[in-house]
Amino acid sequence: MTNPFLEPSSLPYALPPFAEITDDDWLPAFDAGLEQQRAELEAIATDPAEPTFANTLEALERSGRVLARVEHAFFDKASSDSNVVTDALELELAPRLAEHADALRLDPRIWRRLDSLHIRRDQLDLTAEQRYLLERTVADFVRAGAALDDQDKEALRQLNQQLSTLTTRFEKALLADTNDLAVVVRDPAELRGLSEGQLGAAAEAARERGLEGAWVVSLVLPTGHPLLASLDDPALRERVMDASLSRGRRGGEHDARELVLEIVRLRARRAVLLGFPDHASWVTAGETAGSPAAVAGLLGRLAAPAARNAAAELADLRELAAGQAAGDGADGDGDTAADADAADLRASDWAWWAEKVRARRFDVDTAVMRDYFEADRVLHDGVFHAASRLYGLEFAERRDLVGPHPEARVFEVTEDGGAPVGLYVLDLYTRDSKRGGAWMNPLVSQSDLLGLPPVVVNNLNVSKPPAGSPTLLTLDEVTTLFHEFGHALHGLLARVTYPSFSGTNVFRDFVEFPSQVNEMWMLWPELLENYAVHHVTGERMPRELVAKLVASRSYGEGFATSEYLASALLDQAWHTLSPEQADSVDDVEAFEQEALAAVGLDLAQVPPRYSSTYFAHTFAGGYDAGYYSYIWSEVLDADAVEWFEQNGGLSREAGGRFRARLLGAGGSKDPLEAYRDFRGRDARVEPLLERRGLA
């Protein structure tokens, strides 16, 4: 049979033919794709004609079509539904793909052609997008080592291949250890506090593992588990927290500490080879931040007030815990079942007590809200409805099209009476073969040059209920769905000529901006009223509950900001080390403790959102020295939200401006220039400070 990747897909929107793809197809497709692009690159490099935009840059953009098709499909498969074949293939392919990328960026013949174009750029008749592509490509080649001598290029190739293998090993070790550390519960009394839906999901997770008569709490990627807010049993809460914190640091085959140290050392060496003092300097030179000093300026401004707010919140928790221990029923439910001494409140207890404080102060029980957040209703009447109101999009499920997993759902996206936009794929549920967290991937990258429409997928990790039961989302999961769909909108609505600029191919510290803006709509009153409907009674969420929810949203920002900043600053601490400093570090835990103490974020009850040995963003996920991006983008996000609030909110007019000047641009122009075009000025930091209670 013909390999399904060797020719363009004949399915609508060029959706990969997942029903035909087998594990035997992956490696031959990669082999063919690599061979094809090598031949194409050789033809560009040896072209005797004078370099032109068409025969050099445009030719580069057209190259590698087979490789692009198989890479998009494979890496979604490997992250969302891995198996022994894909795991082995990832390890085999990592150094080969790194070598292939270097073959392009370090080829002196191609570099000379690009440099020639860049020197003559003012004499070339280029569109604005073409000129920006030329400037970005040249800058990326320089940062990738194109100007190095042959000896340094060979050293760089070796470092890149080693790093690609190590980061792949880190990802696989983390997934395996996360699965191994799932908490098995056999006494139902330990699960008191969980809703019927949460119990059902835990039972389903146990059933899928062949553990009848048990319940399984599968770990999530962040340190804090969502169930910690509901579990009444402090001993079980501590078991879950201990399991989460111990990932990658228990010894044995899945221990990630040596991987972390080796990755940090190699990145530091590579940075110096490329002419930078450290890895963070190399990374930020290619982002809107520009330098680690700029990143440190923002994070440092936030760290001290965030730590103060977290300490004040801890005092609130201890006060309530002390009242309950004294038997005054301060939590309002008369449950004195037994938590530890208030003075000894642990990290595993924070979320549970925070819910008690939230309930007492704002009369809000977020667990009750799950009954109003049935997943399909949230999707259609919330997420999709907002996109319809803002951008005129319509979504129709295509049950005739097969997604990357049997549980994945495919939706056709149209506008203006049926004009095609692309395909949206949602893979909602968690499974042992899916890595933790939530993310968006392109399955087909939009490009006018290649005549390709966009196909994007959102992966989440929502616990799957038993058959016949509704999928009820937590408030955090609703937020995540809106957030990830913001990335999907970026991928769907960008309209660019060149694949290098497609969708979310923007500076990394800008990429979170559209997704964070999209979170705004989940609590927009008219939208919330449309989708927050009780899954049994059909009643809409009471307005007084909505008002309490909105009023309580700022509560807990001290904790949330501190746990995030701890990880962002830890990421910077690892990646601002010189090679000599990196070589001198031999204790991951000690380094973490010293780094957090140095910025005042070493509160025992507020561990980092991600600790080093399970920090997938920075050691496997492409956010190395870039985890600051979320708060950096949030400056723009909070400022943009203020604009929407002042300019019509959930309206086609407001959405049209945002789409035309930001989403639609993809990566085809400088993102800060695009923001100024949208906003009329640079973003102000004050809205962010107000939002997070740091003003």
Q: Which amino acid is at 259?
A: L
Answering whether pTM is above 0.75, one says yes
Please name the residue that has the structure tokens 């807990």.
Answer: 556
Confidence of residue 371 (pLDDT cuts 50, 70, 90): very high
Average pLDDT for residues 36-51, to the nearest whole number? 98
- The per-residue pLDDT for 332 is 42
How many beta carbons lie within 10 A of that of residue 118, not counting itself?
16
Instruction: Count Cβ atoms below 10 Å from residue 464 Cβ, excluding itself.
Output: 17
% of residues, the chain, pLDDT over 90: 91
Q: pLDDT at position 331, please?
A: 45
Q: Of the residues 90, 171, 484, 592, which is catalytic?
A: 484
* pLDDT attached to residue 327: 65
Give the total residue count for the chain. 695
Name the pairing type of β-strands 455-462 and 439-444: antiparallel
User: CA 168, CA 91: separation in Å to the nearest integer?
Assistant: 6
- CA dist., res. 516 & res. 94, Å (int): 31
Hey, what are 347's tokens?
A: 């990290």
Contact 464, 471 (CB under 8 A): yes
Report the pLDDT value the prediction gives residue 334, as an integer from 0 to 100.
42
Contacts of 200 (CB under 8 A, 6+ apart): 465, 466, 469
Q: Is the dihedral of CA 46, 117, 98, 143 positive or negative?
A: positive
* Cα–Cα nearest to 280, from 60, 512, 509: 509
Short-list 459, 443, 436, CA closest to 491: 443
Query: Rounded mean pLDDT of the chain?
Result: 95
Which tokens belong to 405? 């997993």
Is residue 374 annotated as a catalytic residue, yes or no? no
Q: Which tokens is 76 given?
A: 């979604």
Separation CA 526–CA 670 (nearest Å) = 34
pLDDT digits (tens, 9 = 90+) for 442-473: 999 999 999 999 999 999 999 999 999 999 99
Q: Which two tokens stand for residue 478?
A: 């609703």
Question: What gap in Å lies between CA 172 and CA 435, rounded to an integer?
Answer: 9
Predicted local distance difference test score (pLDDT) of residue 441: 96
Q: What topology does CATH give the domain 12-105+107-147?
A: Glutathione S-transferase Yfyf (Class Pi); Chain A, domain 2 (1.20.1050)
Q: What is the pLDDT of residues 115-129, one digit of tens each?
A: 999 999 999 999 999
Q: What percent of the chain has pLDDT over 70?
A: 97
Q: What are the backbone angles phi and psi of residue 472, rounded to the nearest 5°?
A: -105, 125
Question: What is the structure's pLDDT at 309?
Answer: 95
Distance CA 662, CA 671 (A): 8
Q: By the 8 A CB rule, do 372 and 475 touch?
A: no
Q: Could you tell me the two tokens for 341? A: 């001494």
Q: Two tokens at 579?
A: 């090679």
What residue spans define the domains of the chain? 12-105+107-147, 181-245, 370-504
Angle at alpha carbon of residue 245, lines to 244 and 247, rounded to 5°? 75
Q: Could you tell me where the DSSP H helices lie in 363-511?
A: 366-369, 375-377, 385-391, 475-493
CA angle 692, 694, 695 (to 5 degrees): 115
* Each residue's pLDDT tens digit, 310-367: 999 999 999 998 887 676 544 444 444 444 455 689 999 999 999 999 889 888 888 8
Classify residue 382 by its DSSP letter: I
Do residues 53 and 124 lie in contact, with contact meaning Cβ atoms separated by under 8 Å?
Answer: yes
Cβ atoms of 322 and 330 within 8 Å: the answer is no
pLDDT for 206-237, tens place per residue? 999 999 999 999 999 999 999 999 999 999 99
Q: HSE of 525 in the Cβ direction (CA atoms, 13 Å)?
A: 10
Tokens 């900001």 map to which residue? 561
**CATH for the 370-504 domain, from 3.40.50.300, 3.40.50.720, 3.40.390.10, 1.20.120.530:** 3.40.390.10
Number of neighbouring beta carbons within 10 Å of residue 11: 19
Report phi then psi at 139, rounded to 5.
-60, -40
* Helical spans, DSSP H, in 462-542: 475-493, 512-518, 525-531
Rounded mean pLDDT of 152-173?
97
d(CA 373, CA 367): 11
Alpha helices per DSSP H over 532-587: 543-552, 557-575, 579-584
User: Across residues 550-556, what is the average pLDDT?
Assistant: 85
Distances (CA, A) of 393 to 379, 385, 563, 644, 663: 14, 8, 36, 19, 14
Exposed e or buried b per residue across 395-424, where buried means at least 16 C-beta atoms within 10 angstroms of its C-beta? beebeebbbbbeebbbbbbbbeeeeebbbb
Angle between helices 150-180 and 84-105 (to 10 degrees): 160
Instruction: Label the pairing between strands 419-429 and 409-415.
Output: antiparallel
Q: Which of 383, 386, 395, 385 is nearest to 420 (CA)?
A: 395
Given a cut of 50, whether residue 97 has pLDDT beyond it is yes
How crowded is residue 59: how many other Cβ atoms within 10 Å of its Cβ?
18
